Amino acid sequence: MKGISLAFYSTYIELRKYQKGDSMLELFRKPAMPGQDEALRGRQEAIPTADAHFINGRPLDEIPDHLEKAMFGMGCFWGVERMFWSLPGVWVTAVGYAGGQTPNATYQEVCSGGTGHNEVVLVAFDPAQISYDALLKVFWEGHDPTQGMRQGNDVGTQYRSGVYTYGEDQKIAAEATKVEFQTRLSQAGYGPITTEIQSAPTFYYAEDYHQQYLAKNPSGYCGIGGTGVTCPIGVNA
């Protein structure tokens, strides 16, 4: 399971730091983005990934010109991708890393907290069949955007909530729906939304075995869960 392996890996990294003389408090510090001089260096070569989508066979990196892109971070990208790949109007989905400082990072490097990347899902969609607002509704309702650098038991910078926008229209829509959903969340007793909304950074495709992971492994780990609060997109209040 991903949660177990990640917990083991993170503990190993922290113990190695402690053995090198860091304070015992370092073992219990909250996840934080690495500084420019702390981030892992990465590499020039892209990490090998799948050529085609496991479900629909479409190329992962060849998106027709008439389609638009969206990018979301909602926690473990295995479960997040499954929320989007079957939506009518979604052409293809892919998981990867974005929002950090390390070029072409590996999964292990991202999990170490040394890259600053988020686990994200890239969604290519046909705006004539599904709107960006409809994708935002899935985003807001599909996870808890108030948890900071975590989703449930998954803790780390790579699990933060994020909307990475392509163009001003997407940014305006994301900001507006954030305000609307905050009202609903506050009424339900939740705290402030911690979602970062910014222009889409470079998307680095994750390794082959991560692509459409839960289609390949139907009983695989999925730590994603929403708040049960409905986002009022498209609802006449």
Residues annotated as catalytic are 76
Tell me which H or E stretch contains 96. Answer: strand 90-98
Sequence-distant (6+) residues with CB within 8 A of 69 are 63, 122, 123, 124, 125, 166, 200
Please, are residues 124 and 203 in contact by the beta-carbon 8 Å criterion? no
The DSSP letter of residue 156 is S
Please, are residues 84 and 195 in contact by the beta-carbon 8 Å criterion? no
| CA–CA separation, 78 and 236 (whole Å) | 33
Bridge partner residues of 164 (DSSP):
71, 198
Please, are residues 111 and 212 in contact by the beta-carbon 8 Å criterion? no
